[in-house]
Amino acid sequence: MGSFPKQDQVECKEKAEYANVNWDELGFALTKTDYMCIMNFNQDERQFSQGTITRFGNIELCPSSGILNYGQGLFEGLKAYRKEDEGILLFRPEENALRMKIGADRMCMPSPTMEQFLDAVKKTVLANKRWVPPHGRGSLYIRPLLMGTGQNLGVKPASEYTFLVYASPVGNYNKGELNLMVEDKVHRATPGGTGGVKAVTNYSPFYKPLTEAKAEGFSDVLFLDALTGSKIEEGSACNIFILKGNVISTPTADGTILPGITEKASWNLHQVEELAVPIEEVFDAEEVFCTGTAMVVKSVASITYQGKRTEYKMGAETVAQKLHAALTGIQTGVNEDKLGWTMAID
């Protein structure tokens, strides 16, 4: 099995300024865009090739590839926003590149260099420029994937690797309330496991409790630590903060929690204590919120634990709303970027 994919390299042709999309109807689902970027790992040179832009489409994989058989893979997620003047900004893409490198070490994979990662992300966004929603009406969600390809029957690291970046326009994720259900039987991560990296294998194992929680009307599950079942960790793809008095706390990410880039940005904008958060703390918290690239910052309306439901402060006066405004202001170029968090790519 040679290197893949077989798609020909294509030139990006000038297209209409904006794709024909009803931007205000977008949720968080895939809208296929024009192009994707692919780099293969060259075993002889021990490095990834430069990124190649190809038509967005299906890829060829050997049935015995490492990603399909043993889940040797990682993903990332970041967004490109359009400014009022039509320019395009990325939010801290270096953080995603670093997190992918840490994940690649954990998963025994080679990783693209910082430069290659940023180059592939920029190329993908520029090639799909007409899919970046107008200012204030959503963003282009960028999904980098790193995976073991090539043939691999035995349980061992793959013989070949591919780094691929695709993108999809998404809406401003603010519809509906966030009502969490504490999951006390299924654990997302264990000490020594891969919970601290965005390994593809961390997600489908909790589809069962998540599906059950959704069937009961909840929006997401809140996981507890696997060792004691007494401390909150995070949601299915978001970090959690609780506010009591003047103190904001968030569980320490020490291997079983994914260190979020939005979470880290929030600490910078607001004083936050990183510590173990016992489940009892959610009963008398005044405000709770979640952070993640998809939702940015979102207030939690309620948390239910063993049948007991606790409700929290919502609305314009919450810290969550203020943080959301501050962060999206920087991301969309409305607020001055004093911390140098954005990268202009046009």
DSSP output for 38-96: EEEEETTTTEEPPPEEEES------TT-HHHHH--EEE--EEEEE-TTS-EEEE-HHHH
Q: How far is the CB of 37 from ligand PLP (least distance, A)?
A: 20
293, 299, 328, 331: which one contacts ligand PLP (CB under 6 A)? 293
**DSSP secondary structure letter of residue 11:** P
Residue 198 annotated among the catalytic residues of the structure: yes
Side-chain-facing half-sphere of 283: CA atoms under 13 Å: 8
Bond into 5 cis (ω within 30):
yes
- Does residue number 237 form part of the binding site for ligand PLP (CB under 6 A)? yes
73, 103, 171, 260: which one contacts ligand PLP (CB under 6 A)? 260
Per-residue burial over 43-70, b = 16 or more CB atoms within 10 Å of its CB, e = otherwise: eeeeebeebbbbebeebebbebbbbbbb
Closer to ligand PLP by CB, 5 or 260: give it.
Answer: 260
Q: Which stretch binds ligand PLP (CB under 6 A): 123-131, 160-168, 169-177, 261-269?
A: 261-269
89, 125, 224, 238: which one contacts ligand PLP (CB under 6 A)? 238
224, 258, 303, 327: which one contacts ligand PLP (CB under 6 A)? 258
Distance CA 19, CA 209 (A): 38
- Does residue number 318 form part of the binding site for ligand PLP (CB under 6 A)? no
- Does residue number 300 form part of the binding site for ligand PLP (CB under 6 A)? no
- Does residue number 333 form part of the binding site for ligand PLP (CB under 6 A)? no
Q: Which stretch binds ligand PLP (CB under 6 A): 16-24, 63-71, 234-242, 331-339?
A: 234-242
313 Cβ neighbours under 8 A, 6+ residues apart: 286, 287, 299
Spatial strand order of the sheet with 308-311 comes to 220-223, 179-183, 302-305, 308-311
- Does residue number 292 form part of the binding site for ligand PLP (CB under 6 A)? yes
- Does residue number 194 form part of the binding site for ligand PLP (CB under 6 A)? no
Taking every pair of Cα atoms in the chain, the longest distance, rounded to a whole number of angstroms, is: 61
Closer to ligand PLP by CB, 239 or 318: give it.
Answer: 239
- Does residue number 162 form part of the binding site for ligand PLP (CB under 6 A)? no
User: How far are the Cα atoms of 159, 170, 271 from residue 268, in angstroms, in the given order?
Assistant: 41, 26, 7
Task: Kindly name the residue from 122, 123, 129, 198 that is annotated as catalytic.
Answer: 198
- Does residue number 323 form part of the binding site for ligand PLP (CB under 6 A)? no
Contacts to ligand PLP by CB under 6 A: 77, 198, 234, 237-239, 258, 260-263, 291-293
Query: Which residues participate in catalysis according to the annotation?
Result: 198
